[in-house]
Amino acid sequence: MQKVKLLLVAGARPNFMKIAPVIRELKRRSEEFDYVLVHTGQHYDEGMSDVFFRDLGIPAPEHHLNVGSGSHAAQTARIMTAFEEVLQKEAPDCVVVFGDVNSTLACSIVAKKLEYPVAHVEAGLRSGDMRMPEEVNRVVTDAITDFFFCTEPSGVTHLQQEGKEAGRVFHVGHVMIDNLLHELESLPPSTAPTPDGGFGVVTLHRPSNVDSPDVLSGIMSALAQISERLPLVFPVHPRTRQRLDAMSYVPPATIELTTPLGYRDFLQLWRRASLVLTDSGGLQEETTALGIPCLTLRDNTERPVTLSEGTNRLVGSDPEAIFAGAAAALAQAVTGRRPELWDGRASQRIIEHLARELRAHH
Ligand code: UD1
C-alpha cells in the first residue's frame, strides 16, 4: 500500500508542543505514513524555538523558511512565498496546520490555492474578538480547511454554525495535553525550593496587554500588589521585554523577571505554582489539565471549556480586577475537572481519522 504523506507546518512557540506528539504518532505508524516538517522561522531565537525542538525531541525540520519577524503583512507574505516553493516540491497528500499563528494562516492559504487538502489541528475556536490577530487567523484558516480537529465542544458548535460538513469535523481532544502528559511522565521531581506560602507564575505577551504603556504599567502595578502576598516569577516574552525596557521598568524584589524558559523548565515551574496569571491561550488549558488556578488577563477566551469545567477565570486587564481575582483565588480553593478527551490520545485519533479520510481519496 502506498504511504500517505503529510506536510506539517511549525512556525511559532505555541506550535511546537502540539507538533511533537503528532510526530511521535506518525513515527509509530511509519509503515503507513511519511511526513515532512516545515519550520517557517516565525519564531527564531534559541529560547523561543531551538530549545523546544531539543526539549520535545522534535527532529530537525526538512525545510526552514527563515522568515523572521515583521509586520503581519510582511511576515505572512514572506511565509507564503517561501512555502509555495516547498509545497510544490514536496507534493504531500495533505498539509497539517496547528493553532492560530500567522504561519497557520499563511500556509493554509497557499495549500488551498494549490489544491492540497488542509487539516487544521485546534479548529473552531472563536473569541469573537476580531481585534485579535489570532481570531482573524482562526476564522480565515477554518474558512478553507478540509479536515477540522477540535479540542473542545465549542469548536464543533462554531463549525456547525458556520455550515461545515459534519463528517469533516472531529472532536478529538487536545494534542497539547498529549504532550503535557507525555512530558510529565519523564520529568524528574523538582529539586527547586518552594517558598513558604507558595509562588505565582506570570506570562504576558498579547499586544492588547503589552503594547500600550498605560495598560502594561497598570498590569505591572497589580502584579506588584499581588506579589506582596505571593512572590511572582515572570519569564518575559521578547515582545514584552521590549515594552518593559522602553518604560525603564524596574521590578520590586517580589517579582523575579527571567528570560523565556524552555518547555521543561517552564513546566517544572508552573506545575508547582499556587496561581498562574497569563494572557496565553495554551496555558489556560494546561493549568486546567493539571488543576492549577489560572487568572486570564483578557476579557474573553476562545477556550471556554477552561472556564466551564477547568480552573480558569477571566479578569481582564484592569488592575483592581486583577488584584481582586488573585485575592479570591488565593482565599478559596479553585477546583475543576479535566475536559472530555484530554486524555493523551488526541494525536492517535487525528492520525486515525486522516488515515481513513486520505486513503478514501488516494
Ligand atoms: C506570536 C503569535 C501569537 C502567539 C505568540 C506566542 C501571531 C499573529 N502571533 O505572537 O499568537 O501567542 O507568538 O509567543 O502569529 N521576537 C523575538 N524573537 C523571536 C520571535 C519574536 O525577539 O524568536 C520579537 C520580535 O521583535 C517580534 C516580536 O517578538 O517583532 C513579536 O513576535 P511575533 O512572532 O510577531 O508575534 P508574537 O507576539 O510572538
Q: Mean pLDDT, 10 residues at a time, over the chain (362 residues)?
A: 95 98 98 98 97 97 98 98 98 98 98 98 98 97 98 98 98 98 93 87 98 98 98 98 98 98 97 97 98 98 98 98 97 93 98 95 66
Distances (CA, A) of 127 to 131, 155, 175, 281: 10, 11, 20, 11
How far is residue 91's CA from residue 37's CA, in Å, rounded to a whole number?
13
What burial class does residue 296 get, using C-beta atoms within 10 Å of its C-beta: 0-12 exposed, 13-18 middle, 19+ buried?
buried
Is 205 considered catalytic here? yes
Among 42, 154, 185, 56, residue whose Cα is nearest residue 100: 42
Cα 2 to ligand 1 centroid, rounded to whole Å? 39
Enumerate residues 6+ apart whose C-beta is below 8 A from 333.
none
Contact 272, 190 (CB under 8 A): yes
- Which atom of ligand 1 lies nearest, measured to the CA of 207? 38
pLDDT at site 362: 65
pLDDT at site 326: 98
Q: DSSP for 304-318?
A: THHHHTSSEEE--S-
Residues within a 6 A CB radius of ligand 1: 12-14, 42-45, 48-49, 69, 100-102, 133-134, 205, 237-239
pLDDT at site 190: 84
Longest Cα pair distance anywhere in the chain, in angstroms?
64
Residue with the smallest CA separation from ligand 1 atom 26 is 239
pTM over 0.95: yes
Residue with cell 496555558: 283
Check 120, 205, 237, 361 and give the catalytic one. Answer: 205
Cα 298 to ligand 1 centroid, rounded to whole Å? 18
Contact 271, 242 (CB under 8 A): no
Among 56, 172, 58, residue whose Cα is nearest residue 122: 172
Cα 44 to ligand 1 centroid, rounded to whole Å? 9
How far is residue 221's CA from residue 178's CA, in Å, rounded to a whole number?
36
pLDDT at site 194: 84
pLDDT at site 225: 98
pLDDT at site 167: 97
Residue with the smallest CA separation from ligand 1 atom 28 is 239
Cell of 196: 513558604
- Which atom of ligand 1 lies nearest, measured to the CA of 12? 13
Pocket test for ligand 1, best of 42, 65, 78, 243 (most atoms within 8 A of CB): 42
